[in-house]
A and B are shown apart, each in its own frame.
Chain A
Amino acid sequence: MSDLIALETESLKAIAAAADEAALENVRVNALGKKGTISALLSTLGKMSPDERKAEGAKINLLKEHVTEALVQRKAVLKNMALEHRLKSETIDISLPPRDSSLTTGRVHPISQVMDELTTIFADMGFSIAEGPDVETDDFNFTRLNFPPGHPAREMHDTFFFNPAADGTRKLLRTHTSPVQVRTMLSQKPPIRVICPGRTYRCDSDQTHTPMFHQVEGLVIEKGAHLGHLKWILQEFCKAFFEVPSVNMQFRPSFFPFTEPSVEVDIQCSRKGGEIRFGEGTDWLEILGCGMVHPNVLRNCGLDPEEYTGFAWGMGIDRLAMLKYGISDLRQMFEGDVRWLSHYGFKPLETPTLAGGLSG
């Protein structure tokens, strides 16, 4: 009896003392293996009387159970210890920097971003996007837009020309996106609602002019369209584009050959500390020209001015981008300097939406 107690004490002690799984396995073999101490005890049962066997058997089995249980527990502990030890040895330097994600290094040019913003706003108002070629004819760029040949207004456009063709005509680089309006009116029936964004060219280069720039024009032709509608569209556009709750705009009579009446539009702003803010302040900033489409232009595009009215407006996309995003130098837009592009450009997933806001 005391042998059993001593054996149990000794076995449990050996289990507790096992430092790793191999030592524990030794203990198990010594106790429960074929030649183990507990196995040896069990083999003595066969020689006992049934009563004795019953009493001793229960005791030995209990001993076996206790030792087995202790082995399982110790094994779990040792496994955990071993894992802990391994994990400790596997520590890495989490401060090592990963490569920059392309999602954070890639950029969309501010002009593209603004074009996407314009599209988002005007698509919601039911406008399509009309496009046309950069290399245009004199007819579409000027004559049909009511610039008579020789008119001084043509000269204000500093046009880039190509060399004359054999038939004497010469093509030019469009000086505005208005020829797209002509093409739209010639190819579509009213009602027409389009915006025409694109590259435009003038033979001019200084601090605030580049020989290539981007314009967006809008055109609405339908029965009953009038200046009040134009005013509303421009106000709604400016609020949406500049992402301000209200804007103050000033409409001034002006002159463009292709509109009558013609209007220039200023927007009120403040310029505190070199930063332009809209919807506040006392300064006025000219942002666009517009007007009712000139009856001659309608006629030149096959529309009856007695039946249809329409209005159009035009503004500089580069300028819109500069005003909204605080860009000071127009010429940098076309330099391709990655320092500038990384700073003023937009991350690839910053796609403008009306639901989420134009600039995120």
Chain B
Amino acid sequence: MKLTLSWLKEHLDTHASLEQITDRLTKIGLEVEGIEDPALKLQGFGIAYVVSAEKHPNADKLRVCMVDDGSGKPVQVVCGAPNARAGMKSVFSPAGTFIPGKNITLAKGVIRGVESNGMLCSAAELELSNDHDGIIDLPADAPVGMAYGQYLGLNDPVIDINLTPNRPDAAGIYGIARDLEAAGIGTLKSSPIADIPGTYPCPTQVELLGEASDCPKFVLRQVRGVKNGPSPEWLQKQLKSIGLRPINALVDITNFMTFDRARPLHVFDADKVQGALRVRSAQADETLVALDGKTYTLEAGMIVICDENGPESIAGVMGGEASGCDENTVNVLIESALWDPAKIARTGRRLGINSDARYRFERGVDPAFCEAGAQMATAMVLEFCGGEASQLEIAVPAAAKPAMPLTLDFPFSEVKRLTGLNLAVDEMCGTLTALGFGVAARDAEHALVTVPSWRPDIEGKADIVEEILRIAGLDRVQPQPLPRLQDGVPTPVLTLLQKRKRTAQRALASLGLIEAVTWSFVSQPQAALFGGGDASLALANPIAADLSDMRPSLLPGLLMAVQRNSDRGLGDVALFEVGQIFRSDDEKGQKLNAAALRKGEAKSRGTGRHWSEKAQNVDFYDAKADALSLLAALNIPAASVQIVAGGPAWFHPGRSATLQFGPKNIVGAVGELHPLVLEAFGANGPVVAFELTLDDLPAPKLKATRAKPKLVMADLMPLERDFAFVVDRATAAGDIIKAAQNAERQIITKVTLFDVYEGTGIAADKKSIAIAVTMQPRDKTMTDGEIEALSGLIVAEVTKKTGAVLRG
């Protein structure tokens, strides 16, 4: 909402400065977003008289001028303009002035040995035009000493208010003035609206055919014999000052009413309207060429004003071109109506029309100002265009009940209850009265407060508290400590999942992974590649085709991020994310996942080549280490996790695994990404990753105390025995470890796999696996015989479970 200071002062008698006014506007909830003061840019520039202009002693193209800036004491200025001459009037800026066109602040100087105390300016230097051929040449009657901005009439600052949608009353400058008066900035000027009696009945009838709520009131009046042409200079200037284009007097009057009174009107050329005006719901596929020249296809539910030719106006949104007013209009119909705000909003949205009328109607136009608006406009039409006014034709729906103003029983204590602020009852009532509220039946505790017709947003006590508060000033509310609900040290508040999320982030970062936050949406094909892509999770209005579906996995986003880095020359990157994924549009379908992705040589023990070891590409085991480290950090016992060969389709089938706690609780997967997935993403490998669903991880058992299990430390030395087995290539090494571990659970404390060998000496379909078994004697040292017996047990168990043969 834009207004100028002078327009505001048409309604408000005030001595307050621009700054005081704008500060107050912001403080009372009409936030000033910007002030454009055209005069500010021209500060320092004044009209001056060139007393003399002599040739510069040391330069052919320069002149030494004596310039009178109005002070009566001419100053010396060196000027290079060809048109500088004695006796002219021009624009002078003394030293210290900021020159917008040059982006410098002028300093005193000496030019070729002659002192210069300022500058005579060109229009280009003031950024007023591109004319830099010479200094500004003003008419002889230009008053010396006057600020140039004032001379140009550029002294009317434009205030831009960021109007909140609850304040349709402030969509008119009069309403803003009313608020300022209540806030103690000036006095509202009274502007009685003359009742113009008509001399003949309005020849055009109005019929309300839609729902009663569509159009609560329709006021129409004809003015015949008008002469439409340009509106008066002052009105054109006012409209231009807030960025509107003057069109003709009749149209300008409607625009004036829109901005001055927040009362949009429409004018029809009466001679282009056939028969009665009918207000009805549009029929599907009816079309209308609107005032903006565009053809709109209407839909059922939109309100239109029709004549015998069909729709002539989209009610409350935009009029039609066919019945619009131009210079040839002789008889005009002035419409001042009320419309259903929700329908206006929907119509405007469906048609994509953001008109000033729609803006006001969808927020709520003052229902009590319907006739007054028509009267005010009539007076202007008669003044600017002449003519003779008909009587008012007023239509209301047959079923309409008279609108009763809302009256609320307001306990004054409500202000303190909601704000903590103690205000005197007099102050509260004074504010309400100034804002146009009725205050009746007042006693010490409460009053009956009647809401003014222009405030559709006020519906309860809290709204009245806000009115009192915003005028009183929020800075009067004192901060007050909120007492703790419980004394003492605060108790923990995080849920298990929240704690696991935090731990996961720190743990994965500790592994050298870098946390990324990627979009929650990916493209449909990407979602489909990672097990998603269902229509129920596709956005109806995605912002871009590649951000169309809710992600089923964190991996596509991470893969894209990794590839973007690769494209920038950073190919060895390890990223992770802990975030939501979506399995269905149900709230239970949203899960919290943790995933990490390594590419190129970004191995877990370090990235890229290093003098200490040979460079290696990431492989399955890097991702497996990441996943197991995370589970360990989350206090999930490694032994309880089952790692089953083979993962989901987006992984390499032979180099992936599923992580699960029993076959019914699959919690994630780990592996090398499938080459076809990499191809679809335009990514080059190798890329390994894991992804875990944190929600699905088992919760720790609740314990009564924080005490850890009792520690038993054996006094006896542990001993270690190595075993090498030959086994089928396809046998999982993990099974050998497990078998050895299970051979005896008391004494065997650790099984380490330290060698895997295939090649010379081993049959082609076999491999050699070497393990070291740690034996911890408990009560007494083990005899050779006992060690021998246990070793035999281990070999027997491994052979039994895996078919492995002890290597001779």
Contact = CB atoms under 8 A, between A and B. Distances in A.
Interface of A: 96, 98-103, 105-109, 111-112, 116, 119, 123-129, 131-135, 148-153, 155-156, 160-164, 170-171, 173, 191, 193, 199, 201, 203-205, 211-212, 220, 225-229, 231-233, 235, 250-255, 260-264, 292, 294-296, 305, 309, 333-339, 341-342, 345, 347-349, 351
Contacts of B607: 100, 105
A106 B510 contact: yes
A197 B791 CA distance: 57
B349 A155 contact: yes
Contacts of B342: 148-151
B515 interface: yes
Interface stretch (B56-64, B271-279, B494-502, B721-729): B494-502
Nearest to A140: B587
Given A99-B612, A253-B470, 5 more contacts: A96-B611, A112-B515, A127-B493, A129-B498, A263-B474
B153 interface: no
B368 interface: no
Given A96-B611, A252-B26, A336-B564, A225 B482 contact: yes
B681 interface: no
Contacts, number: 266
Contacts of B606: 99-100
Given A100-B606, A106-B514, A233-B482, A155 B345 contact: yes
A292 B474 contact: no
A295 B463 CA distance: 10
Contacts of A100: 512, 606-607
Interface stretch (B68-76, B321-329, B534-542, B741-749): B534-542
B166 to A, nearest CB: 4
Given A99-B605, A162-B540, A251 B475 contact: yes
Contacts of A155: 345, 349
Given A152-B345, A231-B479, A337-B565, A294 B470 contact: no
A261 B479 contact: no
Contacts of B16: none
A108 B519 contact: no
A346 B460 CA distance: 48
B494 A129 contact: yes
Contacts of A309: 417-418
Contacts of B345: 150-152, 155
Nearest to A161: B540
Interface in B596-613: 604-607, 610-612
B465 interface: yes
Nearest to B543: A211
A348 to B, nearest CB: 4
B719 interface: no
Interface stretch (B78-86, B92-100, B101-109, B484-492): B484-492
B255 to A, nearest CB: 21
Interface residues of B, number: 105
B356 to A, nearest CB: 14
B201 to A, nearest CB: 37
B202 to A, nearest CB: 33
Contacts of A333: 517
A326 B171 CA distance: 38
A98 B477 CA distance: 60
A-B CB proximity, top 9 nearest? A336-B561, A102-B512, A253-B29, A228-B420, A255-B164, A150-B342, A261-B466, A99-B606, A348-B509
Nearest to A127: B493
B250 to A, nearest CB: 29
B41 interface: no
B562 interface: yes
Contact of A156 (B165, B462, B465): B165
B518 interface: yes
Contacts of B586: 135
B346 interface: yes
Interface in B544-590: 544, 547, 550, 557-558, 560-562, 564-565, 568, 570, 573, 575, 578-580, 582, 585-587, 589-590
Interface in B615-639: none
A129 B541 CA distance: 31
B672 interface: no
B29 A108 contact: no
A329 to B, nearest CB: 14
Nearest to B535: A163
A231 B420 CA distance: 11
Given A227-B419, A254-B31, A336-B561, A212 B485 contact: no
Given A129-B498, A261-B466, A252 B29 contact: yes
A265 B620 CA distance: 51
A186 to B, nearest CB: 13
A293 to B, nearest CB: 9
Contacts of B418: 226-227, 261, 292, 309
16 contacts: A99-B612, A105-B607, A173-B520, A191-B485, A203-B543, A211-B543, A212-B521, A226-B480, A255-B167, A261-B466, A292-B419, A295-B462, A334-B518, A336-B517, A337-B565, A338-B575
B506 A123 contact: no
A112 B582 CA distance: 20
Interface string B340-355: 0111011001000000
Contacts of B795: none
A132 B540 CA distance: 22
B480 A228 contact: yes
A203 to B, nearest CB: 5
B469 interface: yes
A252 B518 contact: no
A253 B580 contact: no
Contact of B514 (A107, A132, A253, A351): A107
A349 B797 CA distance: 44
